Amino acid sequence: MNWSFLGPMLVTAAVAIGGWFIGHALSAKRDSMNQRRERRILYLIEAYRSLESCARRGDDLEVRKLESAVADIQLFGTARQVQLVQDGILEFAAKGETQLDQLLQDLRRDLRSELRLEEVPEKTYHLRMGKPCP
């Protein structure tokens, strides 16, 4: 047996095995981050839809959807979104009503950015059929 070849072969094998372990660990971490990101996006999309469906409804609110959206934003939202939703809660408690436009715009902008969609105008319109809302 030629011992002069055994050393370099062992080093090569050790580097290959070490590279495989490092590659696997990095891949697992990336997959975990992607799953977390996808889950966050799905919850915030549902929260956006719930808030949007409640916006400018007057007395015709789906309270459970609104409560769930508020909870999801406080759990998964950015610091600004959490602040906006908490300000809205306090305003609603004091006045019995609140505006959701800033929160909806921030959620929309954040979700479009996360999904790598093109920028669109900030202004949104809510289509409501039936009796007019104030």
pLDDT one-digit tens code per residue, 58-85: 666 788 888 999 999 999 999 999 999 9
In this predicted model, which residue has the larger pLDDT, 118 or 122? 118
Look up residue 62 and give its DSSP letter: -
Decide: pTM greater than 0.85. Answer: no
Tell me the average pLDDT of the chain.
Answer: 88
pLDDT-derived band of residue 131, with 50, 70 and 90 as boundaries?
low
pLDDT-derived band of residue 32, with 50, 70 and 90 as boundaries?
very high
Q: How far is Cα 104 from Cα 85, in angstroms, rounded to an integer?
A: 10
pLDDT number for residue 59: 66
* b/e code 32-53 from CB counts within 10 Å (16+ = b): eeeeeeeebeebbeebbebbbe
86 has pLDDT over 90: yes
Give, in order, the Cα–Cα distances in Å from 29 to each of 24, 34, 36, 70: 9, 9, 11, 30
- Nearest C-alpha neighbor of 40 from the set 117, 124, 107: 107
Q: How far is Cα 32 from Cα 55, in angstroms, rounded to an integer?
A: 34
Can you tell me the mean pLDDT for 85-90? 95
